[in-house]
């Protein structure tokens, strides 16, 4: 769904927590389980975790591979770059007070 659709439909289960993943095209997906579960689902390959090198965080790896943004209330994790659509989606979520803008590039974490 778009960020505006997400904002209209989202009903927080926890205060100050907005677990979602934003695809490169700006589509927003609520994380009903964990962020990692949602990234695996979006990959379309339920065995993708077996492909990840042992010395790399699965969350960081899939964030980069899928060009997604992993979002919670305080942080937004991405790898290398954000698309314009992702930037707009993040602004929509921030304007709705569902998140604080705090982008973190996980490709620079070593």
Euclidean distance between CA atoms 31 and 19, whole angstroms: 5
Structure tokens belonging to residue 76: 């937004």
Residue 109 has a pLDDT of 64
Q: Tell me the whole-structure pTM to 2 decimals.
A: 0.88
Query: Based on the structure, what is the number of domains in the chain?
Result: 1
pLDDT per residue over 96-110, tens digit each? Answer: 888 888 888 888 764
Q: What is the DSSP secondary-structure string of 32-64?
A: SS-HHHHHHHHHT-TTGGGGS-TTS-HHHHHHH
Using one digit for the tens of pLDDT, what is the confidence trace for 37-57? 999 999 999 999 999 988 999
Whether the predicted pLDDT of 25 surpasses 80: yes
State which residues form the domain around 49. Answer: 3-108
């Amino acid at each position: 769904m778009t960020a505006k659709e997400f904002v209209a439909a989202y009903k927080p289960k926890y205060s100050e927590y907005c677990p979602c993943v934003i695809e490169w095209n700006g589509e927003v997906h609520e994380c009903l389980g964990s962020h990692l579960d949602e990234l695996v689902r979006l990959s379309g390959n339920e065995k993708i975790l077996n492909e990840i090198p042992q010395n790399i965080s699965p969350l960081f790896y899939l964030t980069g591979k899928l060009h997604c943004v992993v979002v919670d209330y305080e942080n937004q994790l991405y790898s290398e770059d954000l698309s314009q659509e992702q930037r707009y989606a993040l602004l929509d979520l921030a304007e709705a007070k569902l998140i604080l803008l705090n982008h973190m590039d996980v490709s620079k974490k070593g």
